[in-house]
Amino acid sequence: MLAFPSTYTVGITSLGYQVVWAALASRGDLDVRRLFTDQGDPAHRHCDLFGLSLSWELDAPVLLDFLERQHIPLWSSERGERDPLVFGGGPVLTANPEPLAPFFDVLLLGDGELLLPAFIDAVQAHRGAPRAERLRALAAVPGVYVPALYAPRYSSDGQLLGVEPIGSGIPARVAKQTWRGNTLSHSMVITPEAAWPSIHMVEVVRSCPELCRFCLASYLTLPFRTPSLDDGLIPAVEKGLVATQRLGLLGASVTQHPQFADLLSWLDGDRFEDTRVSVSSVRAATVTPQLGRILARRGSKSLTIAIESGSERLRRVVNKKLESEEIFAAARYAKEGGLSGLKLYGMAGLPSETNDDIEATTALLIALKGATPGLRLSLGVSSFVPKAHTPFQWEGVRPEAEKRLKLLAKRLQPKGIALRPESYGWSVIQALLSRSDRRLAAVIAAVRGNNNTLGGWKKAYRAVAAETPAPGSAPLPAWQEVIHASWSPDRVLPWDHLDAPLPKATLAGHHRDALAIGLTAAPAVMAAEGSP
């Protein structure tokens, strides 16, 4: 059984989920059924494997709802020989699996192209063995993490000292696996019931070369990988256009594919006249007149760029290699090409941010509106959340972000610029899940189902913190310490035993570089002269 923690409409739109399902379903030795929160394929009489793909921290409690409905014990330690092995993967579990580790038997860290075949082969090779023996065998597979074979160790004052193997022959560290093949992923299911109806999605790039210091999608998935045009992208596009005339080009920075201009020229051909083409967020500096023109000709209405902040100083802090002039040029090219809207993404509460930086964002948007009259502008803005394996993993959520979201609304909405802020409260819970260790598992268990509310999370945290910890464990750390505190670079992190693309020392160096820039004085608020 392969589950997705949302409805069918959302889950079937997930390219990662589709690819995992197709990879498993293509094997002759497996019978794979899908499960969503609102529907699923007919259940097996007996399930040997129960898998979950997790790409967003806030979906974590849904796993426990699934397990309860399938009559599978929540805690891996309570499962017996007849219970399925519960496995999971995806960016959330690859970055920091520890808060959910007690619920999983097996976690797959990294790219499924490598992990899934090796994992299933090992499962089949030891299928008749006792559960404990099977788990030890799986732990020997590169990228496969078996939480029950590792135990956290705490100091007398409750600080995490490390997560270590509990016996001989277990790898001390587990490394994320990286697919380096010439092809990436594309849709395996095209349906009008998807959140993006009848779309064929093609992964144009994987990772991002820009290395914005908060970005999990960049740091966790390095190196930046690009399939070739003739052998990778064009065949992938052709497969889908047999069934649909809607194409989505996906990736953290699709326009930085070295042959992206050639791909656009190909899609500009007359044979694609009835094809609607859309792209995910693009780097502003790579927007060209050709991009705006071809996207408009192929049915797109708007373009999406991430600017993070209107403050050039703060963009340097986060390593956003973007000048204000490039933002104005992107807007101009979008309008001249025939697009009617420009969606921008930004953040509030970034390290070293001041109110002047927020004012710089509002000034930039207002100047941008004046420079491109008739172009519909919107700003999606989230609160900064620290992510494992990034240079800002040591930085906490800044409480002032909540007021700064309101300040952006106060400045921009009267000017006719749409603001789409994410919930600050849920960003706090996201940080709790991204920064915690195994002690959070009891809280997650308490908030499943109807208790999964902001108030439910805080109430559950207080209740678990008041309990006497189990032998060998420690009390929950203070809420403030996990979410809002800035941590020392020499602190032991819950994910330190898991190797990502860059070592901790390298991330610490990037963090020091950011702090050095952050100590410089914030610039004066940008005025309309920033407009070309």
Nearest to 74 by CA among 448, 475, 472: 448
Mean pLDDT for the chain overall: 94
- R_g over Cα of the chain: 24
Residue 482 pLDDT: 97
Q: Is residue 532 part of a domain?
A: no
Picking from 418, 434, 450, the residue at the C-terminal end of a domain is 434
Question: Average pLDDT, stretch 506-512?
Answer: 97
Q: Is residue 55 part of a domain?
A: yes
Q: Is residue 193 part of a domain?
A: no
Same domain? For 114 and 168 the reply is: yes
pLDDT band at 390 (very low <50, low <70, confident <90, very high): very high
Nearest to 372 by CA among 417, 434, 305, 308: 417
Q: Is residue 510 part of a domain?
A: no
Q: Is residue 507 part of a domain?
A: no
Secondary structure class of 225 (helix, strand, coil): strand
CA neighbours closer than 13 Å in the CB half-sphere of residue 132: 3
Question: Average pLDDT, stretch 285-313?
Answer: 96
What are 107-161's pLDDT values in tens digits? 999 999 999 999 999 999 999 999 999 999 999 999 999 999 999 999 999 999 9
> Is the distance from CB of 333 to CB of 287 less than 8 angstroms?
yes
Nearest to 341 by CA among 275, 245, 418, 272: 418
Residue 47 pLDDT: 93
pLDDT band at 525 (very low <50, low <70, confident <90, very high): very low
Tell me the β-bridge partners of 306.
345
**How much helix, strand and coil, in percent to the nearest 5, is found in the chain?**
45, 15, 40
Same domain? For 45 and 161 the reply is: yes
Same domain? For 274 and 321 the reply is: yes
Find all residues with CB under 8 Å of 386, minimum gap 6, and list them.
214, 392, 393, 394, 395, 396, 397, 431, 434, 435
Find all residues with CB under 8 Å of 39, minimum gap 6, and list them.
7, 8
Q: How far apart are CA 92 and CA 216, in angstroms?
A: 9
Strands of 200-203's sheet, edge to edge? 200-203, 246-250, 276-279
Q: How far apart are CA 227 and CA 182, in angstroms?
A: 5
Q: How far apart are CA 446 and CA 448, in angstroms?
A: 6
What are 421-469's pLDDT values in tens digits? 999 999 999 999 999 999 999 999 999 988 889 999 999 999 999 999 9
Residue 519 has pLDDT above 80, yes or no: no
Picking from 434, 455, 484, the residue at the C-terminal end of a domain is 434
Same domain? For 409 and 451 the reply is: no
Tally the domains of the chain: 3
Same domain? For 273 and 214 the reply is: yes
Q: Is residue 282 part of a domain?
A: yes
Same domain? For 404 and 485 the reply is: no
Question: Average pLDDT, stretch 63-69?
Answer: 95
Same domain? For 382 and 461 the reply is: no
The distance of Cα 232 from the centroid of its chain, to the nearest Å, equals 24
Percent of the chain having pLDDT more than 70? 98
Q: Is residue 517 part of a domain?
A: no
Question: Residue 465 is part of which domain span?
Answer: 436-496
Find all residues with CB under 8 Å of 132, minimum gap 6, and list them.
none
CA neighbours closer than 13 Å in the CB half-sphere of residue 72: 26
Residue 520 pLDDT: 62
Same domain? For 29 and 154 the reply is: yes
Same domain? For 465 and 421 the reply is: no
Residue type, 527: A
Find the CATH number of the domain harbouring 333.
Answer: 3.20.20.70
Q: How far apart are CA 372 and CA 292, in angstroms?
A: 14
Same domain? For 86 and 119 the reply is: yes
Percent of the chain having pLDDT more than 90? 93
CB-count burial class (<10 Å; 0-12, 13-18, 19+) for 7: middle
Residue 94 pLDDT: 97
Q: How far apart are CA 280 and CA 65, in angstroms?
A: 32
Same domain? For 129 and 208 the reply is: no
Residue type, 278: S
Residue 451 pLDDT: 86
Same domain? For 379 and 359 the reply is: yes
Q: Is residue 185 part of a domain?
A: no
Picking from 434, 457, 482, the residue at the C-terminal end of a domain is 434
